[in-house]
Chain A
């Protein structure tokens, strides 16, 4: 008796006992869940099998980044859906970051009007559910833009209609290799040039307009090569044929609506995170930077933002994850992402609810974990290094 009460009184051993108990109950609960599922499946005469992944899907998908037709397997249909999820998440994250950082900074601006506009943007946007944002943007695009036959034409090469946006598609011809080569040379040059300038500035204090020089080199070198090799790029211009435009590059109203909605909604949260990050920096930092004569843009870019980044990145990661997961609402407007393909039509056609849902959940989990891992890596790069 005394032995047991001694163990319980000892803080170390008590902790271990509690943890073992919790682990035991957790294991019991999970095994109960699994057994319950198995029992229900047995009662229904169903088994768990993933063979359906390899039979032809039979349905068509309206946007595919890799080749797909309805004779391909459910697995390939799922991959097409996953790539569509990735595409909208990619565009959405870029839009949300650019807009969010800008709004976060504007919100703190001394200009009353600009700061109020940012304030109202944030409050209006983040207090409306994301699904409504998606439906609103989709509604705006399909109801206000004209039918393809009356499409808004920008210079007869780019067209806006309620079936989406069409832009010319560049087609490469022989001789394009020279342009690629010059592009690579320009990149290498700008890397070396940046290093050189930094060394020079460290030694002498002389500053060069590094960004503008690099920018012009990267732009103009390939352009020169383009003319030298006889303009080896032609444009495929979209043209109205029958019901719709054909040729060119196409962005569907669903992709556009989803990107706008996700980007604009998430930007409101990012704006607040950026504002919080900037406010977290002691105002002495700003005053010190200003007192040595730095321009306001330099104060922000060289002193404030690098320090604020440490505060911003962890919550920013959550926002990127939210945006990616929110993209599963695409099903409401008919954008064929992972949930709409594998978790929707494939599920309905094969009746394999448990298997498809497991796969979809595992995929979202691994996508989220990869984003987390990348952001953690970035975070560890920018965090305060003890010297």
Chain B
């Protein structure tokens, strides 16, 4: 029954969305707020702070899109979604943007009616163990009990990794992250496995994070990125270029501290001028954005590096694959011309 309702929801959402999608930007401007779908709670990515405000790496991206389109990063309504409900909520029009550590896969991009606009975090499935276990590599986990959060590709990656290395394990499948953490803490499992970013976030919520460690093996590709509804190219372009503007900020050394100063003067690097609205950027009017869109993003939210360091460094996450290409990472953005 639940499944049928879900299907009906998706269908209704698709039909409904078809008539409204013509201009998502106009909808957002008319409302004066961006509706953004985020995680129900994952430290570092989307979690309420002590004042009850949503904060985190994924939340920053919602704020950046609001800053670019509305000129104010605070004009965001947040809607939370679980792994199962996120696509339904996006399709049903409960938000214009899904910024919730969502893995970009072929079938999600093609089969369901949505568009992935890029990768803001390269992730992969990893293993967390107590340091007391004395294990240094996932290949040393022969015979271990492994807690898994079900409902994703996690089970398959796990089975393939252990079978590939010819070692045995005992799976303990659990529905939610919270329940799985409890079992891990109680010692029901030797190992907890999910996306590495989730492992770091989980670890930080423990009483003694330093008693645990994430093993070096990453057993899957999980490129995480923001998602929009299929069919509005203008909106997809806006969201994609907001992400690139944040990365360009890091690449060109534009930070929330110096962005106003750089925007006011004529820079030697003309790309900075075009990004910050000093020199004309051809086609910007087609996106429906004002010339100071990138200045708003970087001054109110910060560049990619600032957001990463603010939210993910406290979780002891390193830049690794998420560094810019020139620093040995994977983030490489098209030129702003």
Contacts and interface: CB of A to CB of B under 8 A. Distances in A.
Contacts of A241: 143
B177 to A, nearest CB: 13
A205 interface: no
B306 interface: no
A15 B310 CA distance: 76
B270 interface: no
Contacts of A334: 172-174, 183
Interface in B35-54: none
A331 B169 CA distance: 20
| Most B C-beta atoms less than 10 A away, residue of A41, A254, A340, A348 | A348
A362 to B, nearest CB: 15
Contacts of A243: 133, 141-145, 190
A241 B6 CA distance: 46
Interface in A28-59: 37, 40-41, 43-44, 58-59
Contacts of B171: 59-62
Interface stretch (B62-70, B151-159, B203-211, B322-330): B151-159
Contacts of A62: 170-173
Contact of A40 (B8, B145, B170): B8
Nearest to B187: A147
Contacts of A143: 186
Interface stretch (A1-9, A110-118, A195-203, A349-357): A349-357
A246 B142 CA distance: 12
A242 B141 CA distance: 9
B186 A353 contact: no
B131 interface: no
Contacts of B3: 353-354, 357
Given A58-B159, A244-B143, A40 B150 contact: no
Contacts of B142: 242-243
Interface in A306-348: 331-332, 334, 336, 340, 344-345, 348
A40 B4 contact: yes
A244 B145 contact: yes
Nearest to A69: B163
A347 to B, nearest CB: 8
A138 to B, nearest CB: 9
Contact of A60 (B14, B141, B159, B179): B159
Interface in B172-191: 172-175, 179, 183, 186-188, 190
Given A142-B183, A243-B144, A70 B159 contact: yes
Contact of A242 (B14, B143, B151, B162): B143
Nearest to A143: B186
Nearest to B188: A142
B308 to A, nearest CB: 31
A162 interface: yes
A41 to B, nearest CB: 8
B186 A142 contact: yes
B7 interface: yes
B105 interface: no
Contacts of B4: 37, 40, 354
| Most B C-beta atoms less than 10 A away, residue of A40, A43, A60, A162 | A60
Given A241-B143, A332-B175, A334-B174, A44 B7 contact: yes
B193 to A, nearest CB: 12
Contacts of B163: 70
Interface residues of B, number: 37
A60 B173 CA distance: 10
B11 interface: yes
Nearest to B3: A353
Nearest to B143: A242
B188 A40 contact: no
A70 to B, nearest CB: 4
A263 interface: no
Contacts of B156: 58-59, 349
B155 to A, nearest CB: 4
B10 interface: yes
A104 interface: no
Contact of B187 (A37, A60, A70, A142): A142
Nearest to B11: A43
B85 to A, nearest CB: 14
A163 B188 contact: yes
Contacts of B145: 163, 243-244
A348 B143 contact: no
Contacts of B175: 331-332
A349 B156 CA distance: 9
Nearest to B153: A349
A346 B171 CA distance: 15
B212 to A, nearest CB: 15
Interface string A250-281: 00011000000000000000000000000000
Contacts of A61: 171
A276 B320 CA distance: 69
A43 B4 CA distance: 13
B188 A244 contact: no
A242 B142 CA distance: 8
Contacts of B150: 340, 344-345, 348
Nearest to B142: A242
Interface string B1-18: 001101110110010000
Given A242-B142, A243-B144, 16 more contacts: A40-B4, A40-B8, A58-B156, A58-B160, A60-B169, A162-B188, A163-B188, A242-B143, A242-B144, A244-B145, A332-B179, A334-B183, A340-B173, A345-B155, A348-B152, A353-B6
Interface of B: 3-4, 6-8, 10-11, 14, 133, 141-145, 150-152, 155-156, 158-160, 162-163, 169-175, 179, 183, 186-188, 190
Interface of A: 37, 40-41, 43-44, 58-62, 70, 139, 142-143, 147, 162-163, 241-244, 246, 253-254, 331-332, 334, 336, 340, 344-345, 348-349, 353-354, 357
8 closest residue pairs by CB, A with B: A353-B3, A59-B155, A70-B159, A243-B144, A242-B143, A142-B188, A142-B186, A58-B156
20 contacts: A41-B7, A59-B156, A59-B171, A60-B169, A62-B170, A62-B172, A70-B163, A147-B187, A163-B170, A243-B143, A244-B143, A244-B145, A334-B174, A340-B150, A344-B173, A345-B155, A349-B155, A349-B156, A353-B3, A353-B7
